[in-house]
Structure 1
Amino acid sequence: MFQTLKDLFDSFTQPTPSQSPAERAHTVQLATAVLLVEVVRFDASMDDAERTTVVAALRSKFALSDDELARLLELAVTTSQTAYDYQRFTSSLNEHFTQDQKIQLVEAMWQVAYADARLDENEMHTISKVAGLLHVTHGEYIAAKMRAKETALL
């Protein structure tokens, strides 16, 4: 189902207006997954609670099988390790997501950050940076954070 890793990298660096709907869907799925993975990038490793939260967020957003979710997560981790900025991911989401979908993504990022029961400064910075690039207002950002915190029962 997923394109080769090189094709996906190329789709971010050389977007073509003639992308098929399936290619656009893959680009959006990968961009979403990478941003969720970026939240835990500075941890030594992604623990089970964080992995479960990332997979749950992707499952609720996209109609993918368990195998497809596992491959998407693996690809997102690999892509995240070589990512030098967030712009190439957020620009795709700005083009294809509604404001509500962007807020939901920011909330999902907060859920991932709270999943291991400790909030790291790097996690907060990453989410803040991505929220800005997604044009999520400060009020929407704080509301998403509060909802995620309530869900995490912290």
Structure 2
Amino acid sequence: MLDRIKEFFRESARPQHKGGHGFDDLQFAAAALMAEAALLDGGLGEDERRRMTELLRERFALSADDARSLVAEATVTMQDTQQLHPFVRAVTDGFDDSERVRLVEMLWEVIYVDGRVHDFEANLMRRIGGLINVTDLDIGSARRRVLARIGGADGAGAIRRPGETG
């Protein structure tokens, strides 16, 4: 009896997603966290959607159609829920240390698509990093790598938080 109760809670803690595209829980969890990062600044723009699709295609070797479907499903799910923990748990259980750091880098890429970091997004990155056991040092290093790719040698000056000047 106790084993059945434990199994019930293990099942309910797994990421639940709608649709029948056959995405595994790890793919969906990564997409859901990316969607949450993209939605925090008020909505999911076309540039964010496109970047999420590219990142998921590369990371999971998905077709363009599958990646677009995954982004769409994850976005709908994250608009309907405030729950990060099932997705965080899937990532923590399914990714090794370097893969979790790469996911953090992917999240920064989605956040920086619009050229700025909102306070909610920065807060989310600290929360997710802690939840998936990525150190602050690794979060910062991942951020700097993304900034270097999109904004020059260190990215400084290209990206600003709302309200920042010069």
What's the TM-score, normalizing by structure 2? 0.76
Partner of residue 97 from structure 1, selected from 92, 95, 98? 95
Runs of 4+ in 1 over 4 A off after TM superposition: none
CA distance in structure 1 between the partners assigned to 2:123 and 2:112 by the alignment? 14
Partner of 1:13: 12
Correspondence list, 1:1-154, <5 A: 13=12, 15=14, 26-153=24-151, 154=158
Q: Is the 8 A contact 2:104 2:139 kept in 1?
A: yes
Q: Is the 8 A contact 2:34 2:52 kept in 1?
A: yes
Q: Is the 8 A contact 1:107 1:144 kept in 2?
A: yes
CA distance in structure 2 between the partners assigned to 1:14 and 1:135 by the alignment? 18
CA distance in structure 2 between the partners assigned to 1:128 and 1:82 by the alignment? 22
Aligned residue type for 1:29:
Q
Q: Identity across aligned pairs (percent)?
A: 26
Shift of 1:82: 2.1
Q: Is the 8 A contact 1:36 1:109 kept in 2?
A: yes
- Give ranges in structure 2 of 5+ residues lacking alignment: 1-9, 15-21, 152-157, 159-166
User: Can you list the C-alpha shifts for 1:44-100, whole angstroms capped at 9, x where unaligned?
Assistant: 322222112111111111121111111111100011112222111011111110100
- Give ranges in structure 1 of 5+ residues lacking alignment: 1-10, 16-22
CA distance in structure 2 between the partners assigned to 1:132 and 1:45 by the alignment? 25
The structure whose Rg is larger is 2
Q: Is the 8 A contact 2:47 2:114 kept in 1?
A: yes
Aligned residue type for 1:66:
A
Partner of 2:161: none
Shift of 1:14: 5.1
Shift of 1:127: 1.4
**Larger relative contact order, structure 1 or 2 (CA cutoff 8 Å, min sep 6):** 1
Aligned residue type for 2:12:
T
Shift of 1:117: 0.6
Shift of 1:138: 1.1
